[in-house]
Amino acid sequence: KILLEALQKYGSENIDAISKMLPNISLEDIKSTISKYSEIAKNLYEDELLNKWLKCGLYQPEDSFIPEALLFIQLFENHPPPSELEGYDIRSIYNFLYRSCFGQSSYFDLSPKDRDLLCFLISKIEQKIWPKCKTDIWEYVGKVYNKRNIKKVYPGKKRHLL
């Protein structure tokens, strides 16, 4: 109990201050105990998060992994707050991209500043990727176009009037 209080008060890095609250325990014992419990807590926490993700209903194995990746990036990745990024909200951009995978978003759901950033980044990606993939993309579009069910229309029979 005293170790927990010391950890809460001083953090896990300040071993000297913690040792003052636990005078009968050596510095090495304190370090090893903190390390041991940190590892146990880390493993429990990681397993718990993974289980929550799998059981939350957002993850469907038969779906594409891209929407889930965008959602998890939006929810769990550390993004700087908009105040540190000149007002750009990276979290809302990832949320927009996630919802776009399901057709649930409008371009105007983003702030004008975030829309501009997203358009800029997409255009940069397009400039880098398009020249390399242009031929492949046009071939794919051609195949899709040729597979369409194009119905042939034949002229009807000429009827002879009596």
pTM recorded for the entire structure? 0.44
Q: pLDDT tens for the chain, 162 residues: list them.
A: 677 778 777 777 788 888 888 888 888 888 888 888 777 766 555 445 445 554 555 545 455 677 888 888 999 888 899 999 999 999 999 998 888 777 666 767 889 899 888 888 877 777 776 666 667 766 766 665 555 455 566 666 666 665
Helix boundaries (H) for the chain: 2-10, 15-21, 27-55, 65-76, 90-100, 112-147
d(CA 59, CA 51) in angstroms, rounded, equals 11
Q: In this structure, what token pair is assigned to residue 147?
A: 């597979």
Which residue type is seen at 127? Q
d(CA 18, CA 2) in angstroms, rounded, equals 9
Q: From residue 35, how far is each of 9, 13, 18, 23 by CA, in Å?
A: 17, 11, 14, 19
Q: In this structure, what token pair is assigned to residue 133?
A: 């993939």
